[in-house]
């Protein structure tokens, strides 16, 4: 039996429709600002994709493309301006940053209420405390995809391969908050296959092409492939592959493709987070109580 393939775009469309409906109830169209430093081709392409999608769903968006040699002080000055600008609802600084800029300094500087990536320590802490306000886009997009397809998370054994701040760690928190039994594996994990075979829900986020092979997967498991690896074929043509070997489709119950799986969910969730951020800010300004947002919603009171 072949796995059911969970395509991202139709689910992303559902998430975007919900976000657009919420945006239309706000006093002003949400405004997302994306900051990119340098000309890394992957970053240029991702930022273009995010800005295009924002335009498609009718959100305002601005891209600041700064030169590779931008200093940390210059970037922090721009963030300070954006933090103070009431017309800006969401700020995303595309990662990775050039070596002269400390990532942590930048992520600390973004106003937690405008932090649509959910990388500020306050948002990270609230997520782990079980009071998430703005949560990282790829993990939140994966949770939406699982819910959309009726995958039972409560009580399930979830195994995540990868422990990055971008994907593995925040996804562990979201799955734990949703009552899964969570294991996080990484490059020092012994006998990775024995660990992954325990998973009802297996998430591969290692950046390692074909890492997850069929014998590492419990028959019928839901397999989420986060990996985006650019490989070059013998004919010299570049294409994208995930962290999951194609033969896993013969074992898994459900499987996300690459491309066209988690990637589009990430972009949709970014725009949903921008609407969420705008809701938080308008509620704070008009003193409306927002439940379940922890301290982030209370910041400006
Ligand atoms: N589809 C999407 O929307 C997105 C896709 N991605 C993609 O997901 C992948 C992961 O991204 P990101 O989390 O940023 O990557 P990082 O490189 O930051 O982290 C990779 C993680 O995987 C672990 N790892 C690497 N190799 C192995 C291995 N052989 N066995 C077990 N664990 C391993 C590392 O372990 P250790 O900590 O020990 O080094 C690390 O924790 C990449 O391909 C990236 O392009 C990323 C973001 C969004
Ligand atoms: N501050 C910050 N936030 C991020 O969320 C962030 C980041 N930095 N740096 C890089 C990673 C990577 N990432 C992706 C987004 C979309 C696709 C995506 O749309 N992928 C398409 C294919 C795109 C293509 O063809 O190149 C797909 O999988 O179908 C992939 C990866 C967000 N990231």
What pTM was computed for the model? 0.96
Residues with CB under 6 A from ligand 1: 138, 161-164, 166-168, 185-189, 192, 205-208, 211, 226-229, 262-263, 266
Q: Where are the domains of the chain?
A: 28-111, 137-263
Mean pLDDT of 112-129: 97
With a cut of 70, say whether residue 166 has pLDDT above it.
Answer: yes
Alpha carbon 141 to its chain centroid, in Å, reads: 6
**Phi and psi angles of residue 262, each rounded to the nearest 5 degrees, phi first:** -70, -35
Cβ of 155 closer than 6 Å to ligand 2, yes or no, is: no
pLDDT in tens, 234-292: 888 989 999 999 999 999 999 999 999 999 999 999 999 999 999 999 886 766 555 55
User: Comparing 28-111 with 137-263, is the CATH topology the same?
Assistant: yes
44 with 36: CB under 8 angstroms?
yes
Answer whether 244 contacts ligand 2 (Cβ < 6 A). Answer: no
Please report how many Cα atoms fall inside a 13 Å half-sphere around the Cα of residue 166, on the Cβ side: 15
| Shortest-distance Cα residue to atom 30 of ligand 1 | 187
Residue 92: Cβ-neighbour burial (10 angstroms; 0-12, 13-18, 19+) = buried
Residue ranges of the annotated binding site are 162-164, 228
Ligand nearest, relative to CA of residue 165: 1
- Of 201, 254, 248, 256, residue with least CA distance to 227: 256
* CATH number for region 28-111: 3.40.50.10860
Looking at residues 22-43, what average pLDDT do you find? 95
pLDDT above 70 covers a percentage of the chain that reads: 94
Instruction: Provide the pLDDT confidence category of residue 36 given band limits of 50, 70 and 90.
Output: very high
107 ligand 2 Cβ < 6 A? no
Domain 137-263 listed as CATH 3.40.50.1400: no
Nearest CA to ligand 2 atom 3: 94
Any atom of ligand 2 within 6 Å of the Cβ of 259: yes
Tell whether ligand 2 has an atom less than 6 A from the beta carbon of residue 137. yes
Q: Of all protein residues, whose CA lies closest to atom 5 belonging to ligand 2? A: 137
Q: How far is the CA of 207 from the centre of ligand 1 (A)?
A: 4
Mean pLDDT of the chain: 94
How many A from CA of 204 to the centre of ligand 1?
A: 8
């Amino acid at each position: 039996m072949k796995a059911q393939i969970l395509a991202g775009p139709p689910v992303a469309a559902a998430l975007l429709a919900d976000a657009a409906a919420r945006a239309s109830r706000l006093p002003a169209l949400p405004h997302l600002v994306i900051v990119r430093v340098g000309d890394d081709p992957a970053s240029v392409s991702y930022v273009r994709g995010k800005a295009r999608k924002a335009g498609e769903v009718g959100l305002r968006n601005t891209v600041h493309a700064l030169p590779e040699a931008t200093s940390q002080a210059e970037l922090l000055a721009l963030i300070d301006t954006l933090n103070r600008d009431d017309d800006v609802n969401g700020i995303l600084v595309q990662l990775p940053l050039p070596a002269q800029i400390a990532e942590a300094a930048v992520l600390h500087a973004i106003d937690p209420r405008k932090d649509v990536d959910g990388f500020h320590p306050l948002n990270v802490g609230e997520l782990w405390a079980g009071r998430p306000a703005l949560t990282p886009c790829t993990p939140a997009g994966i949770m939406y995809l699982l819910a959309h397809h009726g995958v039972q998370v409560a009580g399930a054994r979830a195994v995540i391969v990868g422990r990055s701040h971008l994907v593995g760690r925040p996804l562990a928190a979201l799955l734990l908050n949703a009552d899964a039994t969570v294991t996080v594996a990484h490059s020092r994990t012994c006998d990775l296959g024995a660990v992954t075979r325990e998973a009802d829900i297996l998430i591969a986020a290692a950046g390692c092409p074909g890492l997850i092979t069929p014998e590492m997967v419990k028959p019928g498991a839901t397999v989420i492939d986060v990996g985006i690896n650019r490989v070059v074929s013998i004919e010299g043509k570049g294409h994208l592959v995930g962290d999951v070997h194609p033969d896993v489709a013969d074992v898994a119950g459900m499987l996300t493709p690459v491309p066209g799986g988690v990637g589009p969910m990430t972009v949709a969730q970014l725009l949903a987070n921008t609407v969420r951020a705008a809701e938080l800010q308008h509620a704070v300004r008009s003193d409306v109580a927002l439940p379940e947002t922890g301290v982030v919603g209370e910041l400006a009171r």
